[in-house]
């Protein structure tokens, strides 16, 4: 029978090098920061009358692979209606195509009109986000136009 000390040592060895995990965690947090900044910019540009209120949120997340961390999110209000944009995880089991790369992160959008998931795809040195409606089985690249359509759906 192994001791707790032995178990914890083996557990830590199985997780890989600390610096690699820290680098992966920071890469994911930086990516979510960029996404939230871009979304906040799109919301401000689409709302010249200032009807939407944007609140920056913080989310504590624990993942097996990269540990515990805090990641940014957004809460967007139109009177009593709210759309929450919250990071879920730095990895996900989703691909834009059968042969494409697997998602390297997921963010959830929720509102009274349903929910969407944003999946982060890395290919070579580029980062792309996909907007996915699992209920309707649709996926499209995230851009201002697709985001605005999703926001309208989430607010109605």
Q: For 10-55, how does the pLDDT look when each residue is reduced to its tens digit (9 = 90+)?
A: 777 766 666 788 899 999 999 999 999 999 999 999 999 999 999 9
* Alpha carbon of residue 73 to chain centroid: 8
Q: Please say if the pLDDT value at position 88 is more than 80.
A: yes
pLDDT at 9: 80
129, burial (CB in 10 Å: exposed 0-12, middle 13-18, buried 19+): buried
Model pLDDT, residue 112: 95
Q: Report the number of distinct structural domains present in the chain.
A: 1
Give pLDDT, residue 10: 78
**pLDDT band, residue 117 (cuts 50/70/90):** very high
- Exposure of 59 in the CB half-sphere (CA atoms within 13 A): 22
| Full residue range of the structural domain in which residue 50 is found | 4-155
Per the DSSP assignment, residues forming a β-bridge with 76 are 54, 83
Q: What is the mean pLDDT of residues 94-103?
A: 76
């Amino acid at each position: 029978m192994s001791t707790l000390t032995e178990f914890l040592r083996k557990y830590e060895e199985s997780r890989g090098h600390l610096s690699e995990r820290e680098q992966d965690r920071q890469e994911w947090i930086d990516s979510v920061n960029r996404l939230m900044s871009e979304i906040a910019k799109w919301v401000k540009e689409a709302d010249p009358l200032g009807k939407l209120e944007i609140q920056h949120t913080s989310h504590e997340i624990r993942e097996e692979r990269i540990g515990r961390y805090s990641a940014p999110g957004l809460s967007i209000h139109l009177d009593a209606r709210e759309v929450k944009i919250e990071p879920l995880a730095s990895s996900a089991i989703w691909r834009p195509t059968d042969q494409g790369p697997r998602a390297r992160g997921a963010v959830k959008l929720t509102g009274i009109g349903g929910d969407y998931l944003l999946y982060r795809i890395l290919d070579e040195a580029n980062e792309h986000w996909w907007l996915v409606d699992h209920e309707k089985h649709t996926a499209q690249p995230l851009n201002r136009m697709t985001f605005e359509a999703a926001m309208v759906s989430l607010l109605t």
